[in-house]
Amino acid sequence: MPELADFLQYSFSGLTSGAIYALIALGFCVVNNTMGIVNFVQVDFVSLGGMLMFSALFALGLPMVPGVLLAVAGVALVAMLVERFGLRPARSENPLVLIFLTVGLSIILRGLIKLVWGKNRMALPPLTPDLPLEFFGASLLPQALWILFLTLIAIVLLLWFFYRTPLGLSMRAVASNSTAAAVVGIPAGRVRLTSYAIAGALGGLAGVLVTPITTLNYDVGVLLGLKGFAAAILGGFGSFPGAILGGVGLGLLESLSAGYLSSAYKDVVAFVVLLLVLFVRPKGLLGK
Amino acid sequence: MLRLEQLSKNFGGLPALSQVSFEVFPGQVTALIGPNGAGKSTLINCMTGVLQPSSGRVLFRGAAISSLAAHQIARCGIARTFQNLKLFPRLSVLDNVLTGLTCEAGSSMVMAMLRLPYLRHRERRLRLRALEALDRFGLGDKADWPAAVLAYGDKKRVELARATVGNPQLILLDEPVAGLNAAETAAVGEQLHLLRRAGHTLLLIEHDMDLVMKLADQVVVLDSGQKIASGTPAEVRRNPRVLEAYLGCMEATA
Ligand SMILES: Nc1ncnc2c1ncn2[C@@H]1O[C@H](COP(=O)(O)OP(=O)(O)OP(=O)(O)O)[C@@H](O)[C@H]1O
Ligand SMILES: [Mg+2]
């Protein structure tokens, strides 16, 4: 049954890119929920994740697992520096000012990445050797399975952190009412720093996972980040389930339209559907 | 315990508070009364860092707190409620009350991640305390509800539970029984009596004169941003300026 094999193949590749969009979308949501802004540096967290992975493997000679951990932690650290030294000194609560700052910081970070790693395309090996597995006639790359598995782990950890730890409660409180959060003693600064660390880790993980499939260069995160942003809006900006649904929905739309219509139109189809959804539901699929 | 020195606040040139000074003594209930728009809420907003005073100082246990951020003031042991409710609408009732224990929970990221057994034990104790506080205000059965769906009177009591659960050294209450029905008012009044008997220090803004006269050790009267009188409830009740500015109009409307 070639039809079934095709359908599985398209769905599977849609799920894979959808998982990446979902990770990036969750990063956008975390910062939006605690600071009320769109953090455009998110796109560069993705590129930086791939770059740090590259250096961990080839400059430091680390094995895969420590390499992934180092890359993700490294991006989280850079994200914290971005908040602490890029946004906080502005001492502004004005979302427009802060969003503009993230645009500027994104350009600066991209410049620094270009300076350190150069403009050339690089190749990152997949987490495990690339022998495709057969599944009802569709072939699955192990890297794609890793993407789905690690995305799932990241989502579980994220929910556990937000709903089961005191700091997670503080973060939900700030997102729900920042004045009330301040008068019960929650330090907004620490919450913002944490939200950047989490956004960095999510973006970094997305970069580590996706760059073996795409290629790696200093601005690989820009287009992916835009898709992640679109996924977050599609799901309802700020909603975690919405970000996941939006990411997977966008990924599936892209790959199904590429498969059944034409790959030349996959972005067009995806964004036309995005617009239609927003016309019908301006707050996104799961927005409040 | 808490001293205000010449506290003033202007909103765009219009004075809402001018040169207000008084002191809150430990273990006492200080009532702050005055007609609508007198500046009572503005005063406790300035005391808790929600607003920055234009001039003057607030001293808590001898240290100036007027330049601190709101969360730092809370961490000194000052808790409050709001006249127009500031809950976390998307959080459960229990989580709302748990945030009142923020200062004790310690929210270090690393500690939260490691999830050490003694931390888990401490978290369980904090949850128990939050549930007890909800029980005291008769909300134990609504612990898992989202705060947004509660009736007004219940929301008001969740805020009281949040403000009192952490045993703060000073509790500022902005009209805790406004908008409550008679039964709810009696229940909240009972809780305030218990707090007082347990030796808590309270600053109470309230229009319900019955409650004020029964609870207060000291009454401070504000009118148009100025302190016009202070003393025991009996003294204040006899003060002609107060009668003119406040009690008179209350009795006329009552
Ligand atoms: N954020 C603000 N901006 C401008 N003016 C304000 C602000 N907050 C309060 N005011 C003004 O300051 C004055 C005092 O208001 P405040 O809310 O402190 O009065 P109140 O004594 O609490 O009154 P009520 O008994 O009605 O609660 C009022 O004239 C009010 O209009
Ligand atoms: Mg008021």
Domain locations in chain B as residue ranges = 1-77+168-254, 88-167
Amino acid at B166: G
The best mutation among B8, B9, B11 to test binding of ligand 1, ranked by most ligand atoms within 8 Å of the C-beta, falls on: B11
- The whole-number pLDDT of residue A115 equals 96
Using pLDDT thresholds of 50, 70 and 90, give the confidence band for residue B254.
Answer: very low
Mean pLDDT of A276-288: 85
**pLDDT for residue A256 is more than 80:** yes
CB contact under 8 A, A167 and B108: yes
**pLDDT for residue B113 is more than 80:** no
- The whole-number pLDDT of residue B138 equals 92
Tokens of A82: 């971005």
Let me know how long chain A is. Answer: 288
Distance of CA B159 to the CA centre of its chain: 9
Judge: domain B1-77+168-254, CATH 3.40.50.300.
yes
DSSP strands (E only) in A115-172 = 133-135, 138-140
CB contact under 8 A, A180 and B103: no
- The whole-number pLDDT of residue A85 equals 96
- The whole-number pLDDT of residue B131 equals 96
Q: Which of A168, A180, A188 sits opposite B88 (nearest CB)?
A: A180
Separation between Cα atoms, residue A225 and residue A214, nearest integer Å:
14
* CB proximity list for A183: less than 8 A, separation 6 or greater: B48, B49, B50, B70, B71, B73, B74, B79, B80, B86
Mean pLDDT of A19-25: 97
Using pLDDT thresholds of 50, 70 and 90, give the confidence band for residue A277.
Answer: confident
B133 Cβ inside 6 Å of ligand 1: no
Mean pLDDT of B69-89: 95
- The whole-number pLDDT of residue B108 equals 53
* Range with the poorest average pLDDT among A224-228, A237-241, A283-287, B55-59: A283-287
Between B105 and A24, name the one with better pLDDT: A24
Mean pLDDT of A100-109: 97
Distance of CA B191 to the CA centre of its chain: 14
Residue B114 half-sphere exposure, CB side, CA atoms within 13 Å? 9
Q: Is residue B88 within 8 angstroms of chain A, CB to CB?
A: yes
pLDDT (tens digit per residue) in B207-240:
988 899 999 999 999 999 999 999 999 998 888 8
Between A228 and A286, name the one with better pLDDT: A228
- The whole-number pLDDT of residue B83 equals 94
ipTM value greater than 0.90: no
- Closest ligand 1 atom to B45 CA: 18
pLDDT averaged over every residue in chain A: 92
Q: Which of B75, B79, B89 sits opposite A176 (nearest CB)?
A: B89
B155 Cβ inside 6 Å of ligand 1: no
Q: What is the DSSP string of A43-96?
A: HHHHHHHHHHHHHHHHTS---HHHHHHHHHHHHHHHHHHIIIIIIGGG----HH
What 3-state class would DSSP assign to A179?
helix
B236 Cβ inside 6 Å of ligand 1: no
Mean pLDDT of B80-105: 92
B37 Cβ inside 6 Å of ligand 1: yes
- Closest ligand 1 atom to B83 CA: 27
CB contact under 8 A, B100 and A184: yes
Q: Which of B71, B82, B86 sits opposite A187 (nearest CB)?
A: B71
Chain A residue numbers touching B100 (CB-CB < 8 A): 184
Closest CA to A22 of A190, A156, A129, A219: A156
Residue nearest to atom 24 of ligand 1 (CA): B36
pLDDT averaged over every residue in chain B: 89
Q: B168 to chain A nearest CA, in Å? A: 10
- Ligand nearest B47 Cα, by number? 1
Q: Is residue B124 within 8 angstroms of chain A, CB to CB?
A: no
- The whole-number pLDDT of residue B161 equals 96
Closest CA to A23 of A195, A201, A172: A201
3-state secondary structure B6-70: EEEEEECCEEEEEEEEEEECCCCEEEEECCCCCCHHHHHHHHCCCCCCCEEEEEECCEECCCCCH
Q: A188 to chain B nearest CA, in Å? A: 8
Tokens of B239: 């003060």
Separation between Cα atoms, residue A85 and residue A82, nearest integer Å:
6
Mean pLDDT of B51-62: 94
Mean pLDDT of A35-64: 96
